Structure 1
Amino acid sequence: MAITVTATAVKKIKEVITEQKLPSEVALRVGVVGGGCSGFEYKMEFDEEVSPETDILTEVDGVCVAMDKKSATLLDGTELDYHESFEKRGFVFKNPNATKSCGCGSSFSA
């Protein structure tokens, strides 16, 4: 079970790590929590405490991505991208497991 992270997203993640002066071994933790208008919400944060026993770990171009095993089931096959346009910018989850999502794209149902 894994997600893919686009080169654009990796570049932005590295920029944020540098801007926030985070340690180089920090992981980007992605996950799913209950809530939002469609049932589940995506969650992203930096985490220095990751464990191969409790997390699914993926490395993409020097960026460690961690997911708890419950979230990994709902995120399997998901692509994490970074989109920047005149109207909006931010990380975008393209989740093939989402059967319905809200208009803002931050929550989904599976």
Structure 2
Amino acid sequence: MSISITPPARDRIRQFLAQTPGAEGVRFGVKRTGCSGFAYVVDLADAANPGDHTLEVDGIRLIVDEKSLPMVEGTVIDFRRQGLNAAFVFHNPNATGECGCGESFTVG
């Protein structure tokens, strides 16, 4: 499993983890939604579930469920600030298209 986290995203994730001492890591995956089919899910995780895959990236434990793994393999997680807006941004080599608003994506 290969997922990368840029330094700005790593710093933001560490802030979230520091504010939630019981969290074991970050759950990263996808869910069916939006006009293109899938949206990313990033949440703090208390524990891994059976069948989950775990990966340590720069000291951050990423937990990915088995169904999401093929769709997020190779993704680079970034965090960007633009004016008053701040958000995680995903560079996913598996995405073949995105909806106009950028909230959801499709895979081939």
- Common topology (TM > 0.5): yes
1:73 and 2:75 matched: no
Aligned to 1:36: 34
User: How much does 1:25 deviate?
Assistant: 5.2
Q: Aligned residues: percent identity?
A: 37
User: How far 1:24 moved relative to its partner?
Assistant: 6.1
Gaps of 5+ in 2: none
Alignment of 1:1-110 (within 5 A): 1-18=1-18, 21-23=19-21, 26-51=24-49, 53-86=50-83, 88-110=85-107
Q: Secondary structure at the match of 1:69?
A: coil
Distance apart, 1:87 and its partner CA: 5.3
Matches of 1:77 and 1:46 in 2, distance apart?
21
TM-score by length of 1: 0.87
* CA displacement, residues 43-81 of structure 1 (integer Å, 9 cap, x when unaligned): 110111115x51121112221111011101001111000
What is the TM-score normalised by the length of structure 2? 0.89
Offset, 1:2:
2.4
Residues 58, 64 of structure 1: 8 Å contact kept: yes
CA RMSD of aligned residues (A): 1.6
